[in-house]
Amino acid sequence: MLLAIDIGNTNIVWGVFDGAKLLADWRVSTDHSKTTDEYAILLLDLLRVKEIRPDRVAGVVLSSVVPPLTPVFEELSDAYLHCPPLIVSHELESGLTIKSLNPREVGSDRIVNAAAAYRRYGGPIIIVDFGTATTFCAVTAAGEYLGGAIAPGLRISAEALFNRAAKLPKIELIRPKTAIGQDTVTSMQSGLIFGYAGLVDELVRRIQQELGQDCFVVATGGLAGLIAPESRTIRAVRPHLTLEGLALLHAMNRPS
């Protein structure tokens, strides 16, 4: 079995694969203060609930955009699962050619998303990831990762309104019935939900214009299911795209 770990700024997502099948996945809050042992206890408890024995985990693959937590999970993998993790970077074989000006700056989560999306759908393709930030990645038909765009995430924007405007409340991110809000909460929900759908569609339009062709657009991330129905350009939602990409990169780069 393979344990795939995606360490993000807001959440850590774990998934266990048996071959190509995702057996179980979990999403927990990212906590910089937790030690290796604390994260290990949490992981072992989650495995136990799903009746997955730790000794059946024969490989670990890790993507991290939180540098201080990378060694924590390296130690966890070594000490508790007895296998060194494969850590994603631009240097791994991914099926893509990284054409960004500085490949080292490309987040590992963006690499695994692009690799998984290109493998499943081909190119040209645009991947929209609704995470702490909302990221856009463009991949050509030839598998060239060109770069993309980064916008503030939906939750960050909602929190900014609450924190910086004295009379605006903290709201639940749900779709309002109308674009014309009839109170403060529905007005904020309209601006955030419908506004973000417009942001997505305009950035997709501009990227396609620069590429000179239409692209398949796939969305992932925790809020993809909320925004995708309001978008005119998103054609598919893959909730586990990052985990799928991690499993793919492990298969392509594992020692023989």
DSSP per-residue codes, 29-89: E--TT--HHHHHHHHHHHHHHTT--GGG--EEEEEES-GGGHHHHHHHHHHHS-SPPEEP-
d(CA 74, CA 115): 23
Q: What is the pLDDT of residue 177?
A: 95
| Mean pLDDT calculated for residue range 56-77 | 96
pLDDT confidence bin for 100, thresholds 50/70/90: confident
Q: Which domains does the chain have, with CATH numbers?
A: 2-87 (3.30.420.40), 97-245 (3.30.420.40)
Beta bridge partners of residue 217, listed in sequence order: 126
pLDDT value of residue 166: 82
Contact assessment for residue 233 and residue 201, using Cβ atoms and an 8 Å cutoff: yes
Specify the pLDDT at position 198: 97
Question: Residue 256: which pLDDT band, with cuts at 50, 70 and 90?
Answer: low
- Average pLDDT score over residue span 31-40: 95
The overall average pLDDT reported for the chain is: 94
Confidence grade of residue 254 (pLDDT, cut at 50, 70, 90): confident
Q: Residue 42's pLDDT is what?
A: 95
Question: Burial level of 66, CB count in 10 A (0-12/13-18/19+)?
Answer: middle
- Alpha helices by DSSP H, listed for the chain, are 36-49, 70-80, 108-121, 154-164, 184-211, 224-227, 241-253
186-225: pLDDT as tens digits: 999 999 999 999 999 999 999 999 999 999 999 999 899 9
Q: What does the alpha-carbon distance between residue 122 and residue 243 come to, in Å, rounded to a whole number?
A: 18
Asked if residues 16 and 50 have their Cβ atoms less than 8 Å apart, the reply is yes
Q: Residue 20 and residue 133: Cα distance in Å, rounded?
A: 28
Query: What pLDDT is attached to residue 255?
Result: 65
Q: What is the pLDDT of residues 170-183, one digit of tens each?
A: 999 999 999 999 99
Phi/psi region, residue 220 (left: phi>0; alpha: psi -120 to 50; beta: rest), is: beta
Cβ neighbours around 88 below 10 Å, total: 26
| Residue 245 pLDDT > 90 | yes
- The model's pTM is 0.91
- Upper half-sphere CA count for residue 166 (Cβ side, 13 Å): 0
pLDDT digits (tens, 9 = 90+) for 137-156: 999 999 999 999 999 999 99
pLDDT confidence band for 164 (50 / 70 / 90) = confident
The catalytic residues are: 109
Q: Which residues contact 192 (CB under 8 A, 6 or more apart)?
A: 154, 157, 158, 171, 173
